[in-house]
Amino acid sequence: MGRVLKIMKYFLITVLTLLALICMWVFVQTITKPNEVPSIFGYKPFIVLSGSMETELYRGDLAIVKEVDVNSLKENDIIAFKDKDNYVVTHRIVKIEKDKFITKGDNNNKEDSDPVSKSKIEGLCVYKISGLGSVLLVLQKPITLVIIIGIIIMVGIVWITFDSNKLSIEERKELEQLRKEKNRKTKKV
């Protein structure tokens, strides 16, 4: 049982360390490139906020978008791009006209009113994680963050308390040896 807990402990420490490094990477990118969406190894996560792409992407999904050469894009690709108001939209390419892409949401009746220039493209949607976007939206709320940090701190305190109260096998043997020696000395007296 002790070995399993030790493995779990190192696994948890590794995962938390990786998450902390990713968060620091994203933070540095937001500071150094404030007008760009942060990427992790060329991938950008976007939360789907509307139903315009249903049945492909649903509200609350997390769309994973890969940075690609815009010249490799073709009709039927799902892309993420910045609209005229600088919001990121994820729609399908329905036509390519010169250096512009005509897009449309699968669930919309008509094409988007503004063609998308190559400079506005964030990347190609390569994967989705159903429902994770909704979870991330909840995690962005300050009260949720405070609660999660509180829980992590409490778990850490409990873990450290119980872990520090445990004695290793060697320490137990040493303690037992000291008790035996003390008992021998009290018997002699």
* Per-residue pLDDT tens over the stretch 131-178: 877 777 776 677 776 787 788 888 877 777 766 556 667 777 787 888
Half-sphere exposure of 95 (CA within 13 A, CB side): 9
Question: Is 123 in a helix, a strand, or coil?
Answer: strand
The predicted model gives 100-120 an average pLDDT of 91
pTM of full prediction above 0.85: no
pLDDT at res. 103:
93
Q: What is the DSSP letter of 70?
A: G
pLDDT at res. 81:
92
Which position has the higher pLDDT, 2 or 89?
Answer: 89
What is the domain partition of the chain in residue ranges? 1-36, 37-130, 132-167
> Distance between CA atoms of 117 and 102, rounded to whole angstroms?
9
Q: In the CATH scheme, what architecture does the domain 37-130 have?
A: Ribbon (2.10)
